[in-house]
Structure formats: structure tokens, C-alpha cells
Structure 1
Amino acid sequence: MTFFHKDAQLEKLGDRILEATWAEFPGLARNQIALTWVVYDPPVPVNTGGALSSEEFWKYPVRGFSYRGVERIFPASIVKLFYLVAVQEWLEQGMIQTSSELERAIRDMIIDSSNDATSLVLDVLTGTTSGPELPPGPFETWQLQRNIVNRYFQSLGWTEMETINVNQKPWGDGPYGRERAFLGEMRENRNMVTTNATARLIHSIVGGVAVSSGRSQAMMGLMKRSLHAEDDEAPDEENQVRGFLGGGL
């Protein structure tokens, strides 16, 4: 059961959005797109200042629509949102200590979508590092540690998180050494998420129940983007508004 409920109005609108997309991009196959859409009808429940518990928050239903929302898809940089929530949880629980360098990496991971920054964040989260291939015993321990983020999201008890895999670093030229071995010969261990899982993660941040109210607000601050493309001086290939949903808005 998903965290949202469907209704006829959103089903009709969602189908229209998909048909309009396929009309504009006829080369896009039916199995090459997935969509999860959540609508916030007022009053919107938000855990402001810790007044609303996580258990109470999830009792408030939201309307939603999904198309292939449970299909596992390579997430590219979307995985950084999962690592963002995880690192905030680790900090909240005292599992790791903050530092100016870690805070810089967290910021650059989300603000600039930096792969290098994400590499450090995942190292801190898991207690692992990249490097040459390892002997079988140490490599088994290394893999167990690298999967700690997966275990965290599975521990939440959300059905949307049951099939995701978030244990790989994002790369430019690709992984080498132990990272390549961990990815698998056929890349079968690559990151995979669903649009339903991503939507629930974002919904928890917006609702102020991702880790804590304060940390949710901090994450929202990092995720905030101006819808005015001219406010982002990055070149087109790095601009986070043009060519994305924000550009259409």
C-alpha cells in the first residue's frame, strides 16, 4: 500500500500529462518513463517545531498519482537525496560527528550535485573508502558496511523502500578497483530507486518528519531552487532549472 491514495481527478490529469509527453516526444517508449505525483490539499500537515510526531503525520492522507511508480530505475544524482537524509540521521543520532569539511561536502552534494562531495559523504556514512581491490574476507566486511544505508531505509518499514538499492557512489568516468568489483560484472549492483520511493522521501522532508523538524527544514533549504533560470549562473549542462521540471514551471 502506497503512502498516497488515488482519485479519479488525478488519474485523468495524470493520464493527460503522460499522453501530452508522448505526443511531444514520440520516441519515448511507454516503459521509458515513470511518474509519481503528490498533491497537497490544504490544510497541509507539517511538523513545525516538533509539534507533530512522525506516527501522527503518516495518518494524514495525501492524494497522488503514479505510473510505473514501483519500477526500479537507475537514479543518477537523485540518489544524493537518499544520502542527504541518511547523513542527517547519522548526525542526529551521534553516529558521526560534524565538521566544516563534512558540512561543505553535504552542501556541495546537493547545491552543486557534486559527485566528489557525494563520495566523501558516502565514505563518512559507511566507514568505507575507495581503493584497490580487496582480498575476499576484507571485501566481504567492506560490502557489509557499504550497505548500511540500504539497511537504514529498510528499517523505516516503508514498502516503497523495500526494493531500492542505494550503496554506490556517483561517478564521472566510472568506478575502479573495489568500487568496480562491488558494482558487479554486469553492473547488477548499481543504484536503483523507484519514483514512489523518491516521492515518499521528499514528502517526509516537506512534512518535517525526515529525521527531525529542524533537520528537515535544513534539507529543504539545501533543496530550494529559484524558478528563474537567470538566477543560476551555471552553464546549461549544469543548470538545475533549465531543462528540468522547474524550467517548465
Structure 2
Amino acid sequence: LVCALVAQAQSASSKPPSSSAQTDTALQELVNRATRDALSKFEDKNFQEGNLAITLIDLTDQQHPRQASFRGGEGIYPASVVKLFYLVMAHHLLEEGKIKETNELRRAMKDMIVDSSNDATGYVLDVITGTTSGPELTGAELKKWEDRRNSVNRYFAGLGFAGINTSQKTYCEGPYGREQMFRGAKGENRNKMTTDAVARLLSEIATGRAVTPERSAMMMGLLKRDFSGKSSDADDQSHGFTGIALEPGARLWSKAGWTSTTRHDAAYIELPNGAHFVLVTFTTDHANERDIIPTVARVIINGMSKK
């Protein structure tokens, strides 16, 4: 599987994929249409522009990727989508030999992405930052702990990612002790993402540019979703988000995130007509409206199917 994914990432051309996507008028109109459809369909639910963010990157021509977005630079709590960043950071440190590859780390990375386990995510973040949860800290001890935890932010800032915060664990209930001190009583330092940043990272994974082609392929193996059949779980990452809008013959790799106030999906899609693209959709304050993301996706997929 890894070998096949590496070959897939390199098959489009002997030239390496471009590291930056250019804005495109036609693609922007497609995103605008998806935005209008979603806002109109859920208008009676008081779904407004401030509750939606979308970024689309067309990777069909990997040497000339194109991008469009709606509120793509807006900082939003990412829920479990942040786990993509922790996955890449872990592979970076493994590649550099700065952390050890163990069966337990492999198990946690898999559960973090495949099942979106918060416990697994906490373990991975501990390993990649050299920090652990526990009682409150003060003074120099706290500063040292915070500096280590912010190493993920420094790594991605060095790669040119802006407007994001990737330093907090994900929880079923909430943080305590030093974790609460670091996050802030009102969530002042909670995780933050833009759909532009997420789309960029997922496009780098999909095109073999995240860490190394081999490690990108390993990540893609964890992100692969089978959206065929049905699921009784409305939060199933294969069937409860972008996958709802896909028809047989398409392929999906994704990482979703959801809380009581957010519902997001970051998806890389390959269509039967040869179109390859990343679609990241964030929604806020309408977490129970499970058809918003598929509504956006249907418009995008329809437009990309006509290429």
C-alpha cells in the first residue's frame, strides 16, 4: 500500500509538484456558488457567512495547482482536524531521528487519525513535544513546559504556515492542571486553524511533499476512507461528512473534526474523470446540521466533474 501511494504521488509527472497554489477565477466562482447554496439552504437555521469557511485546491495538474476560498484565512477552532498537524510533526521527528518509532507510537498515530481518538492524540502530543499533563506548574518550570509544547507551532511557522495554533490536546470533556493553565480559563490559547492552512497541509500530504514521499504515503494510508455502504454513526468520518456527497468510483482521504459547536472536514478527493482536489469545509455554531458539509461538497464535486 505504501509503495502504491508513493507511486501515485509521483506518477503525475517526473517534475516535483508545485509548492504553492495560484488563485483562479473559475475556481473561485465554484466556491462562491457552493457558499451561496449552503447559505441559502440553511438560511432558516440562521446559518450565516460567519459560520462557514471553505478552501478548495485543484491538484489535477500538480505542477500548476489552483486555489480558491471563502473566508479561508479566518482563524477557527479546528476540533480534531488539528490531528493532521500532529501526524505530520510526528513523522518529521521520526525522520530526523529525534523520537523513537515504537509499536505504541504507531498504534497511537493510527488511532488518532483512523478513529479520531483523543486519548491517542494526547499521547502523540506528549511524545512529539516532550511534555505531559499533570498538576499546575509555576515559574521557570511552567515556561519550560510551555516552550516545549509550542515546538509544534515553531515547526509549522518555519514552513510558512500563518494564523494557526497547534499546541493543545483534544478532549472529550476538558483540560485540567497545567493544560488548563496553558489553554487559558476562557480558551484564550486554544487551538486555531484556517481552512487555507489545512488545505495546504493536506495537499502536501496528498502530493508526497509532507516530510518525504514515503512518509506522506504512510499518512495517506491512515487517511483513506471507504464511503461505500452505510453507517448508523452520524459522525463516522467515512459516511458522515464529505463522503455523503461522493458517488461510486470516487476515492476519499479525509480527517474530520466535530464538537458541540463545530463540524469540519478536510478531504482529498479523486474523481473518475481524473480531477484531484482538496476540499476543506469548516462550520461553526451549527454542529447538528450534518448536511451543510455535503451541500458544499456536492456543488464542488459537480463542478470538478465537468472539467
TM range (shorter): 0.7 to 0.9
For 1:176 and 1:237, the matched residues in 2 are separated by: 29
- 2:161 maps to 1:142: no
Q: Give 1:28 deviation, angstroms.
A: 1.0
Separation in structure 2 between the aligned mates of residue 8 and residue 211 of structure 1, nearest angstrom: 31
Q: Determine which of 32, 46, 51 is the counterpart of 2:51.
A: 32
Deviation (angstroms), 1:33: 0.5
Conserved 8 A contact 2:129-2:152: yes
Give the Cα–Cα distance (whole angstroms) in 2 for the partners of residues 7 and 100 of structure 1. Answer: 44
Cα distance change on mapping 1:229 and 1:241 into 2, 3 Å: farther
The residue aligned with 2:228 is 228
Greater fraction of residues in helix: 1
SS in 1 for 2:191: coil
Report the AA paired with residue 101 of structure 1.
Answer: E
Mapping of residues 143-182 of structure 1, within 5 Å: 143-156=146-159, 158=160, 161-182=161-182
Q: How does 1:30-109 map to 2 (within 5 A)?
A: 30-42=49-61, 44=62, 60-109=63-112
Unmatched segments (≥5 aa) in structure 2: 1-18, 247-307
Number of residue pairs the alignment of both structures matches? 226
Once the two structures are superposed, residues 5-39 of structure 1 have per-residue CA deviations (whole angstroms, 9 ceiling, x without a partner) of: 22221122111111111111112111111100011
Gaps of 5+ in 1: 45-59
Q: What is the match of residue 56 of structure 1? A: none
The residue aligned with 2:244 is 247
Taking the aligned partners of 1:248 and 1:32, their CA distance within structure 2 comes to: 20
Name the structure 1 match of 2:218: 218
- CA shift for structure 1 position 80: 0.2
- 1:209 deviation in Å? 1.1
User: 1:34·1:68 contact (CA, 8 Å) conserved in 2?
Assistant: yes
Distance in 1 separating the partners of 2:137 and 2:184: 14
Q: In the aligned structure 2, how far is the partner of 1:212 from the partner of 1:25? A: 42
Give aligned-pair identity as a percent: 46
Indicate conservation of the 8 Å contact 1:229/1:247, yes or no. Answer: no
Q: What displacement does 1:237 show? A: 4.1
Residues 235 and 241 of structure 2 are in contact (CA less than 8 Å); yes or no, is this contact kept in structure 1? no
C-alpha RMSD of matched pairs (Å): 1.4
One-letter identity of the residue aligned with 2:153:
N
| Structure 1 counterpart of 2:33, from 4, 8, 16 | 16
CA offsets 1:212-232 (integer angstroms, 9 cap, x no match): 0100000001000012143x6
Structure number having the greater strand percentage? 2
Q: Name the structure 2 match of 1:117.
A: 120
Give TM-score, length-normalised by structure 1: 0.87
Counterpart Cα distance in 2 of 1:229 and 1:205: 27
3-state SS, counterpart of residue 56 of structure 2: strand
Contact persistence 2:167–2:191 (CA under 8 A): yes
Q: TM-score, normalised by structure 2?
A: 0.71
Post-superposition offset of 1:241? 2.5
